[in-house]
Chain A
Amino acid sequence: MYEITEKPIVAGELSELVRSDSDGAVVTFAGVVRGFSKGKKVHYLEYEAYKEMAEKKMAEIGAEIKERWGIDRLSIQHRVGHLNIGETAVVIAVASPHRKQAFEACQYAIDRIKQVVPIWKKEVWEDGEVWVGREGA
């Protein structure tokens, strides 16, 4: 399952979804909203996505993982909208017979999400805001 959603996401639900009886490992990654960014106190984050394309790109990441590690039990959910400190922005769950492949595939998935999936986050502080990724622009 590859989904952009406005609803809160729960890591445990996704790991249960991907697990099968042939799996000895389920690796779950949760990206959560941090209260500080480069020394500034973050008030909240605003996430936005090009939903149709983002879901397609996440599915492509899944296909890359299948090609490289032979893993096809993988799900990614990314939340959009207003997120407070401590809330979960993204969850990746990967299940495989052995842990090494699951760890590697999970790390690969989050790295690729940050490169190619059209999702943007705005940091809002007490005294300003910025779309992350264009500070130098």
Chain B
Amino acid sequence: MIIRLRLFAIYREKVGRSELDMAVPEGTSAGGVLEKLVSDYPSLSALRDVTMFAIDEEFVPADTKLKDGQQLALVPPVSGG
């Protein structure tokens, strides 16, 4: 299945783009997608434990399974205000 990754801030800079379509096996979790991205971009590994996930604009736990065509945002520590 194909999921669309939304990348912001440090993720956008390290990967070099703000959106990325990724092919992953059925049943892949949000955390599983991050693992795959980190294996392609090892410099992201330090972010692994502090990243939150959002599917369709809502925060979800890392073990949430994705469905084909969904949008997954990787949310590094926020710093608004």
**Footprint of B on A, CB under 8 Å?**
31, 47-50, 52-54, 56, 78, 89-90, 110, 113-122, 131-134, 137
Q: Chain A residues with Cβ under 8 A from B81's Cβ?
A: 31, 89-90, 110, 113-114, 119
Say yes or no: A134 contacts B77, CB within 8 Å.
yes
Sample 6 A-B pairs with CB under 8 A, ordered by A number: A50-B54, A78-B80, A114-B79, A117-B80, A134-B46, A134-B77
Tell yes or no: B57 within 8 A of A by CB. Answer: yes
Q: How many positions in chain B have a CB within 8 Å of any CB in the partner chain?
A: 22
Q: Which residues of B contact A116 (CB under 8 A)?
A: 59, 78
Chain A residues with Cβ under 8 A from B54's Cβ? 50, 53, 118
Give the interface SS of chain A, mostly helix, strand, loop or mixed: mixed
* Partner of B8 from A89, A114, A120 at Cβ < 8 Å: A120
CB neighbours of B50 from chain A (8 A)? 134, 137
Which residues on the A side are within 8 Å of B9 (C-beta)? Answer: 48, 120, 122, 131
Q: Are A118 and B73 in contact (CB under 8 A)?
A: yes
A90 to B78, CA, bound (A): 14
**Complex contacts, A50 vs chain B, CB 8 Å:** 6, 8, 54, 57, 73, 75
Q: List 14 additional A-B contacts (Cβ < 8 Å) besides A50-B54, A119-B79, A121-B80.
A: A31-B81, A48-B8, A49-B8, A52-B57, A90-B80, A110-B81, A118-B8, A120-B76, A131-B10, A131-B76, A133-B78, A134-B10, A134-B50, A134-B77
Beta-carbon contact of A53 and B73 below 8 Å: yes
What is the CB-to-nearest-CB distance from B41 to chain A, in angstroms, rounded to a whole number? 14
Q: A131-B9, A134-B50, A137-B50 are in contact. Are A120 and B57 (CB under 8 A)?
A: no
